[in-house]
């Protein structure tokens, strides 16, 4: 099973979309193995988004991500990274298809509600930034056998 980080950004929290967004991931069959409501520090935001340092949008991104609480989630499931990215939709809400989180709940190109890891390497790095190993939990669900790969 693959693991990934999902962040519900300050705009999702402010718009009271936490339950609806988490429900999308759970209904798809992904397992929440860690979750916390937190305020991201400037240092954590800088580390998390270090690949974007020097880009024109970097300062605004860090300011936005530290402007209010976020929900950090560790999800697990078959092809979790790809599945989550499909559920989130295109980066800009104005481009996202209906039926995706960004397509159904957002139209902004600057405030896009959620972040998801884009590769196994990024997921491992990001999960380690937001969670200690003891914060991630393994447990069985009744439908695990239905979601298993052959």
Mean pLDDT by 10 residues, the chain (150 residues): 97 98 97 98 96 92 96 97 98 95 93 96 98 96 74
Indicate the CATH number for domain 2-147.
3.30.70.141
Q: Give the domain ranges of the chain.
A: 2-147
What pLDDT, on the 0 to 100 scale, is given for residue 113? 97
Of 96, 98, 87, 94, nearest in space to 109 by CA: 94
b/e map 127-148, b = 16+ CB within 10 Å: beebbeeeeeeeeeeeeeeeee
Q: What order do you get walking across the sheet with 31-38 strand by strand?
A: 31-38, 70-77, 2-8, 114-116
What pLDDT, on the 0 to 100 scale, is given for residue 145? 78
**CB-CB neighbours of 113 under 10 Å:** 24
Angle between helices 120-130 and 80-88 (to 10 degrees): 80
What pLDDT, on the 0 to 100 scale, is given for residue 148? 66
Q: How far apart are CA 35 and CA 126, in angstroms?
A: 13
According to DSSP, residue 100 is labeled S
What pLDDT, on the 0 to 100 scale, is given for residue 150? 55
Locate 58 and state its tokens: 């970097």
48 is catalytic: no
The overall longest dimension of the chain from CA atoms, in Å, is 47
């Amino acid at each position: 099973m693959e693991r990934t980080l999902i962040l519900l950004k300050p705009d999702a929290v402010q718009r009271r979309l936490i339950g609806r967004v988490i429900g999308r991931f759970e209904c798809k069959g992904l397992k929440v193995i860690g979750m916390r409501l937190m305020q991201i520090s400037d240092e954590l935001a800088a580390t998390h988004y270090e690949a974007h340092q020097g880009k024109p949008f970097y300062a605004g991104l860090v300011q936005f991500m530290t402007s209010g609480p976020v929900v950090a989630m560790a999800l697990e499931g078959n092809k979790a990274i790809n599945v989550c990215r499909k559920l989130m939709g295109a980066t800009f809400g104005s481009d996202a298809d209906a039926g995706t989180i960004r397509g159904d709940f957002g139209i902004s190109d600057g405030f896009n509600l959620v972040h998801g890891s884009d590769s196994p390497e990024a997921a491992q790095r990001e999960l380690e930034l937001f969670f200690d190993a003891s914060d991630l939990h393994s447990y069985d669900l009744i439908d695990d056998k239905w979601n298993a790969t052959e």
